[in-house]
Amino acid sequence: MARTDPKKDVVIIGLGWTGAILGMEMAKEGLEVLALERGEDRDTIPDFQYPGVIDELKYAIRYGFMQKPRNSTLTIRHGVNDTALPYRHLGSFLPGNGVGGAGIHWNGQTWRTQPAELRLKSYVEENFGADIIPEDMQIQDWGVTYEELEPYYDRFEKLLGISGKAGNLNGEIQEGGNPFEGPRSNEYPNPPLANTYDSELFAEAARKKGLHPFPRPAANASRAYTNEYDMQLGPCNYCGFCERFGCLNYSKASPQTCVLGALKRMPNFSYKTKAEVLKIEKAADGKTAKGVTYFDDNTGEEVFQPADLVLVCAYSLHNVHLLLLSEIGQPYDPATGEGVVGRNYCYQMTGGTSLYFKDKKFNPFIGTGAEGMSIDDYSISQIDFAKEGFIGGSYITGGHTGGRPIGQLSTPPGTPKWGKGWKEAAGAWYNHKMSIGSHGSNMSYRDCYLDLDPTYKDTHGRPLMRMTFNWKPNDIKMTQFMKGKIEDVAASMNPDQMASGYKKEGSQYDTTVYQSTHNVGGAVMGTDPKTSVINRYLQSWDCHNVFVMGASAFPQNTQYNPTGPLGALAYWAVDALRNDYLKNPRPLM
Amino acid sequence: MKTFLRIIAALVVLGVIALLAIIFVPVQRTKPTQDLAANWTPEKGAPLYAARMADCAACHTAKDGKPFAGGKAIESPMGAIYASNITPDKKTGIGNWSLDDFRAALVDGVDDEGHHLYPAMPYENYRHLSETDIRALYAYFMNDVKPVENDVPQTALAFPFNQRWGIRLWNWVALDTPGFHPSDVVAGDDQLARGAYLVQGPGHCAACHSPRNAIMAEDGKTAASDSFLSGGEVGGWSAPDLRHAGAPAQMWSADQLKAYLTTGRNAHSAVTGEMGLAVEHSLQYMTDADADAMVAYLHKIRLGQPPSGANAQMTAEDPAQLPNRVARMDSARDKTSAMLVAGKDLSAGARLYMDNCAACHFSDGKGAPGVFPSLGGNSIVTADQTTGLIDVILNGAAMPSTAKRPEAFKMPGFAHRLSDADVAQIASFLRTAWGNDAGSVDAAAVAKLRQ
C-alpha cells in the first residue's frame, strides 16, 4: 500500500526550467510547494566542475547527463501500420535527466517565435488561402498572440541574461539586429558574444548577397549579469563545451544558475530527487486532480502526494506520457481524428553544409553553444508559401558550438572512414572546416502522434509511450529550399570543398542520428477543446487544477529552438495562475 | 640576613594570599552601563537582530549542529577551545542564568559560577555592548532559542593554560573600560558613532582584524590605536588590514565595501574562510542604515594616504565590464596580461594559471564583477600568511548564499589535479602578477597544508 504524505498546495512534476520558474513564482505566492524530480540532484560544483565535466567521451558520447533508456524510453515507428520498437539507444534526441533537466545541457540558443508562427493557420489562410494547406496537415493557431506573449519573452530573456542584438525595437528596425523578428519592448539584457572567424566570414558573404545577418541570441553570458531573482552569471569563456555538458563557468543560463540558488532559500519550497511520478490522480468528480502518485527510489515505495494544484513540468514527451497514463484528456485517434492527447507531435527539420578551406584557420575549439551569425531572410514570415509550394521556414547560421575531438571533427567527402587516410585528413582539416546550418520548422500531421504502446512496458509496469512519426513532403521541400539558399552563399565564399546534408525526397526519420532534442506537441494549447489538451493559459480542459508547461504545448514546431517560447509561456501561465486562478480556482476558459 | 629572610617570607605569604585571593575571591561584576527598568523589553525583532549582529552563531552553532547548542572547536595556539551550549537548556545550556550572569559573561568574561571564560569568547569586544543590546541578547537566548540538551566536550588545554584563574591576571592587563565611548573621531556624528559601535562591539571586528600583542590580547580595540584593524590572523589565515589607505577595504568605494559586507561579494572580490561565515550568519542581515554606518566609520578611520596609482585599477574604466572576453584581452595593457595573451616563454606558474585559473579569472586577473574575484590587489593572494591562498587553491572556496545574492558561487579545489610544486608555482605567480608584490611560496608550505 502506498504511503501518503502530508498535503501540499502545489506539486510540481520535474525540476527543469519550467519547474524551477513555477516553483519560484508559486513559492512567492506563499504556497507550500513540493517539486518531484525523478533524476539525481545536480549543481555546478561538483557535477559540472572543471576539468571533470570537459570529458567528451563520458558526457557527449556516453550521455552522462541524459536519461538512460533502461529507466525511461518510448517506442517509435514511422507509420500507423508499422510495429513500434523501443528506442533502446539514444540517438536522434537526448532528453535530460536530473535537477535542471535539459536546461543544464542545452546550447543556449534562445529565440522568440515570429508573430506569424503563433497564428500560423490564420496567417496561411489570410495570405495564401486555406487550399495550400495539405490535406493531412493539422496546423493551428496557438491561442495566444505574439503581442500578448511579448512581455513574457522579455522577462524570460532577462531571467537568462540573453546576449544579443535587437532588430526591432517597438517597431523601429535596428541596424545589426534581426529585422524580421517581432517588435521587442527592450534590447537584449547583454551585448552579443564575440564572433568567431567562421561567423564573420558567413556574415560577410550573406551581406554581399543582400541578406541580413545578426548575432544569434545566446544564453551564454557575454559579461557578468544579475537577474530578477538576484542570481548571477559569469562571463562565458568560449570553452566549446555547452551542448551535452553542464557549464563549468556559471556562464550558461540554466535552472541552477538562474533560479535554483534563490528558490532553495524559500522556506515554503522543497524538492525531492529520485522521485518519479507514475500518475496524476484524479479526484472522484473527475474534474480535478487530487495529487500525484510517485515512486520514491530513496525508500523503494510508492507515495501518494496530495496537492491542490498539479503543475506538469517534465520533458515534453513525458508530459504527454503522464497525461495518457493518468487518463486526463481523451487520447488522440488518427483513424477518426478525434481525441487530443498525443495529437500534433512534431520534430525539427535541420540541415547543413560544411565548407573546407585550405588557407583559412578557424580554431574551432573556441566556441560557445549559441555563438554564430544568423539570417532570418528565409523565415516563415518571409517566404511566399504559395509560390514555393511548402509551408515553413528556417533560420540559417554560420558558426560553431565547439571543436570537440570526437563529435565535432569532420573530414571532407571521399576521406576514408578509418586508418592512415582518415588520420591524415583529420589532422589536415580539423582547423580548416566551417559549416552553415539551417534550423527549420516541422508541421503537424494527422498521422504523426503519440499514444500508449500496446506491447512494451516500463520498469513500473506502465505501458511505454509510442511515437508515430516520419518526414513529410512539405517539410522536405522546405529543407531542400534551404539547401539551395545555403549552397548559394557557401559557393560565394569559394571553399576548396563543400559537403551538404539535408533530408531529401524519400528520407525516412532516422532515430540513430542526432538531429535535435526538440520534440514538441502532443499536449497542445489552443482555444478549442476538440483540438487542444490545454487552453491558452496551459490549463487542462479536463482537470482545471492541472497545468501543463513545456514544448508539448506547441501545436506545430516553430523554425526556432523551443526554449524561448517555452519560458515565455511559463511566465504567461504564472500570471494567469497568480492574477486569476489562485483567487478563484475554476476552468479559466 | 634574618631581616632579609623575613621580608622574603612575608612576600611569599603575601604572594600566596594574593594568589589565593586571585583564585578564590569572586570577580566583581561590572554594573550595567545604563539603568533600564526591570520590566524594560526590547522592540520586536531587536533580540534576533542583536544576536545576528554579535554573530553568536559563528562559534556557538557547530557545523550541522542545532542552533547555539555549542560543541564547535575553536582552534587557538594553546589548543582547541570548545564553544559552550548557550541554548536555554537548564541542564547543559544557560537556562538557569540570570540577566546579571549573562551580562557578566559578555562584559567580564566569567560564567554564572564565576569561572573565567577563555578569551576565545570575545568579551574584549562584547564588553562594549550597550545595555539595551545585552538585554536584547538575553531576551533572545531565553525566549527565542529552542533549548537543546547537549553536553559539549570540556576544553582541556595543557598546563599552564588549564589554570583559568590566570585569565584574571590577563584581564587586568588586556581589558579596557566597559561600555561604548564614542571617540573624538565620531563625536557629534550619529552615523559614525553607530558605525564605531557596530565595529567595536557586536561586530567584534578587532578579534580577527587587529594584531595580537605579546600576551595575545587584541592590540588596538578602538581607533585611538593605530594598530586597531591593521590586520591580524585567524586560524592561520591572514585577516586583512582594514585600516591603511592602500588596503582594499579602504580603496573600494563605499558601495563596494557595503556590497562585500552584506552580500559576500563585490565588483572586485569575494569573501572566503572565516569572513564567509561572518557574512552568512551576521553581516548580510545588517539594515541598510547600519551597513552604511559601518562602512562610513571604516572609511573615516583610514590611516595615511593611498599609494600613488595604487587604486587606479579600482577607479579607472573597469575592463571587467567590457562586453566580452575578446574585447577584454585586447584592452589589457599591463605587463602580466600582455605576457599571458602573447603566450610566449611563459613561466611554469603562468602556464598553470592559464590551464587552471584563467577560464574564470581571465588573463587580466580581474575575474568578473560580483562573480569571480579579481586576483590583482587581492588581500588573500598577497597576504603575508600564505595559508589562505594555498588553502583556496587546494580545497576551493565558496561564497555564502545571501538574501541579496543567493548564488553560492563555488571555486572547485585543485588538490586532486595539482602537485605541491604546481600549487606553489601558481601561488608564486599570482603573488607577483598584475602589480602584486609579495614573496614566493615553496612546495613544502603546500605539502604542510595538503590534507
**pLDDT higher than threshold 90 for residue A84:** yes
* Contact present, A199 and A91 (Cβ < 8 Å): no
User: What is the enclosing helix (H) or strand (E) of A123?
Assistant: helix A120-128
The per-residue pLDDT for range A384-418, each reduced to its tens digit, is 999 999 999 999 999 999 999 999 999 999 999 99
- Cβ contact (<8 Å) for A191 and B412? no
Annotated binding-site residue numbers of B for heme c: 56, 59-60, 205, 208-209, 357, 360-361
The per-residue pLDDT for range A416-460, each reduced to its tens digit, is 999 999 999 999 999 999 999 999 999 999 999 999 999 999 999
CB-nearest partner of B323 from A222, A229, A238 = A222
Domain covering A3-581, topology: FAD/NAD(P)-binding domain (3.50.50)
What percent of chain A clears pLDDT 90, i.e. is strictly above it? 99
- Cβ neighbours around A384 below 10 Å, total: 9
Q: Which of A212, A439, A518, A544 is catalytic?
A: A518
Q: What is the mean pLDDT of residues A278-282?
A: 98
* Interfacial residues of B (vs A; Cβ cutoff 8 Å): 320-327, 356, 358-360, 368-372, 396, 398, 401, 403-412, 417
Size of interface A-B (CB pairs under 8 A): 86
The interface residues of chain A toward chain B in range 97-116, judged by CB-CB distance below 8 A, are: none
Q: CA B187, CA B197: separation in Å to the nearest integer?
A: 12
The pLDDT value recorded for residue A359 is 96
Task: Please report, for chain A, the start and end positions of each structural domain, with discontinuous segments joined by +.
Answer: 3-581
What's the distance, Cα to Cα, between the start and end of chain A in Å?
A: 38
Q: What is the mean pLDDT of chain A?
A: 97
Instruction: Please name the residue of chain A whose CA is at the shortest distance from the CA of residue B400.
Output: A261
Beta bridge partners of A501: A352
Chain B contact for A222, CB < 8 A? yes
Report residue A1's pLDDT band, with 50, 70 and 90 as the boundaries.
low
The pLDDT value recorded for residue B181 is 86
Distant-in-sequence, close-in-space partners of A186: CB < 8 Å, separation ≥ 6: A154, A158, A166, A169
Instruction: Please name the residue of chain B whose CA is at the shortest distance from the CA of residue A49.
Output: B412
Chain B contact for A64, CB < 8 A? no
Q: What is the mean pLDDT of residues A57-69?
A: 96
Task: Name chain B contacts of A229, Cβ cutoff 8 Å.
Answer: 406
**Domain B321-449: CATH superfamily, name plus number:** Cytochrome c-like domain (1.10.760.10)
The per-residue pLDDT for range A353-387, each reduced to its tens digit, is 999 999 999 999 999 999 999 999 999 999 999 99
The pLDDT value recorded for residue B162 is 84
What percent of chain A clears pLDDT 70, i.e. is strictly above it? 100
The per-residue pLDDT for range A192-231, each reduced to its tens digit, is 999 999 999 999 999 999 999 999 999 999 999 999 999 9
> What would the DSSP string read from start to end of A536-578?
TTSBBSS-TTEEE-SGGG-SSB-SS-THHHHHHHHHHHHHHII
Max CA separation in chain B (angstroms) = 91
Task: Please report, for chain B, the start and end positions of each structural domain, with discontinuous segments joined by +.
Answer: 22-173, 185-300, 321-449
Q: CA A453, CA A588: separation in Å to the nearest integer?
A: 33
Beta bridge partners of A440: A349, A394
Phi, psi dihedral angles at B368 (to 5 degrees): -145, 140
CB-nearest partner of A239 from B321, B359, B369 = B359
Distance from CA of B113 to the nearest CA of A (A): 40
The pLDDT value recorded for residue B316 is 44
> Interface pTM (ipTM) of the complex?
0.92
Chain B contact for A165, CB < 8 A? no
CB-nearest partner of B359 from A44, A237, A262 = A237
A327, exposed or middle or buried, with CB in 10 Å at 0-12, 13-18, 19+? Answer: middle
Q: Does domain B185-300 have CATH number 1.10.760.10?
A: yes
B310, exposed or middle or buried, with CB in 10 Å at 0-12, 13-18, 19+? Answer: middle
Phi-psi domain of B142 (left: phi exceeds 0; alpha: psi -120 through 50; beta: other): alpha
SS3 A525: strand
Task: Name chain A contacts of B358, Cβ cutoff 8 Å.
Answer: 237
SS3 A515: coil
Task: Name chain A contacts of B371, Cβ cutoff 8 Å.
Answer: 224, 232-235, 250
CA distances from A158 to B30, B42, B369, B406 (A): 57, 43, 18, 17
Task: Name chain B contacts of A264, Cβ cutoff 8 Å.
Answer: 401, 406
CB-nearest partner of B326 from A194, A249, A264 = A194
Q: CA A237, CA A216: separation in Å to the nearest integer?
A: 17
A518 is known as an active-site residue: yes
Q: CA B220, CA B359: separation in Å to the nearest integer?
A: 41
Residue with cell 557596530: B198
Chain B contact for A233, CB < 8 A? yes
Decide if B185-300 and B321-449 have a common fold: yes
**pLDDT higher than threshold 60 for residue A343:** yes
**pLDDT higher than threshold 90 for residue A2:** no
- Give, for all 451 residues of chain B, the pLDDT tens digit: 688 888 888 888 888 888 887 777 888 899 999 999 989 999 999 999 999 999 999 899 998 999 999 999 988 878 899 999 999 999 999 999 999 999 999 999 999 999 999 999 999 999 999 999 999 999 999 999 999 999 999 888 888 888 888 888 889 888 988 999 888 778 889 999 999 999 999 999 999 999 999 988 999 888 999 999 999 998 889 999 999 998 999 999 999 999 999 999 999 999 999 999 999 999 999 999 999 999 999 999 999 987 665 554 454 456 667 767 777 777 777 899 999 999 999 999 999 999 999 999 999 999 999 999 999 989 999 999 999 999 999 999 999 999 999 999 999 999 999 999 999 999 999 999 999 999 999 999 999 999 7
